[in-house]
Amino acid sequence: MPGPIQSLSRAAAILRLLAGGERRLGLSEVSTALGLAKGTAHGILRTLQQEGFVEQDPESGKYQLGAELLRLGQSYLDVHELRARALVWADDLARAAGETVYLGVLHQQGVLIVHHVFRPDDTRQVLEVGSMQPLHSTAIGKVLVAYDPVARGELGDGPYESYTLRTLTEPADVDAECSLIRERGWADSVEETWEGVASIAALIQDRRRNPVGAVCINGPVERICQDGFVKPSLVASVRSAARAISRDLGAGRF
């Protein structure tokens, strides 16, 4: 039976639809958006509701995502081997660099943040775990594109969305940058996604040298850069953290 199960694919589409729209959606909105009969959409929604993947606002009758997804998402993190091995190294890196640390993996056409260490001294930060970032304009994203053919494939052939004046929007530019990244072994992103923010990333490989993710530090340009370039000491910290995690993954087999 090589072919997806129809009702399951539709259920997944409904969940993604609900995740996309910021507000709750009504049954009719869902059914028309996906081109389904109302009865069909209702049956799927009812099942998803029973399972806790979807909740229904009792007074408006509209639907939104359910709590079970949060619980399962947490379970995903619990099992995630890369994340488990990286926890302590990410912590050390954040302390050494004094900056925010992200750990990201390729997911669909973006970078999924699976771990986030807050900047040590600072407060009132928003946890980014579970959120997506672009591939072509972040340090983690560019590392993955440089080393993972799958990521390069997902990126497609632009032009890519521009977030600041420094965002690379042309495939040729990104590919050139990736050659550079492969040559020197690390990536940076200075105000390519957010104004005033710079980051440095390095690749994490598993025991068979497959790229499985990347780690980066993230902070205000003034602290990350000096004389227009990222500080070499920070680059060294990030690279050594990435190597440490990769080594840890390699040893994990036994």
Partner DNA sequence: GGCCGTCGTTCGACAATGTCGACCGTCATG
Partner DNA sequence: CATGACGGTCGACATTGTCGAACGACGGCC
Binding site for DNA (CB under 7 A): 1-3, 5-8, 10, 26-29, 36-40, 42-46, 56, 61-62
> Which of a copy of itself, DNA, none lies near 62, with the C-beta cut-off 5 to 8 A by kind?
DNA
Least spacing, CB of residue 12 vs DNA, in Å: 11
Residue whose entry in the numeric block shows the structure tokens 């997506």: 132
Task: Choose which of 112, 163, 175, 223 interacts with a copy of itself (CB under 8 A).
Answer: 112
Q: Give ∠ CA 253-108-207 in degrees, rounded to 5.
A: 15
153 binds a copy of itself (CB under 8 A): no
**Burial 96-135, CB ≥16 within 10 A → b, else e:** bbebbbbbbbbeeebbbbbbbbbbeeeeeeeebeeeebbb
Q: Could you tell me which residues are beta bridge partners of residue 55?
A: 64
150 binds a copy of itself (CB under 8 A): no
DSSP helix/strand/coil, 171: helix
Q: Which two tokens stand for residue 201?
A: 């990333």
Q: Quick one: how many helices (H) and strands (E) in the chain?
A: 10, 10
> Which of a copy of itself, DNA, none lies near 123, with the C-beta cut-off 5 to 8 A by kind?
a copy of itself
What part of residues 200-219 is at the interface with a copy of itself (CB under 8 A)?
none
Instruction: By CB under 8 A, name the binding residues for a copy of itself.
Output: 1-2, 4-5, 7-9, 11-12, 15-16, 18-20, 22-24, 39, 42-44, 46-48, 50-53, 64-79, 91, 105, 107-108, 112, 114, 120, 123-124, 127, 129-132
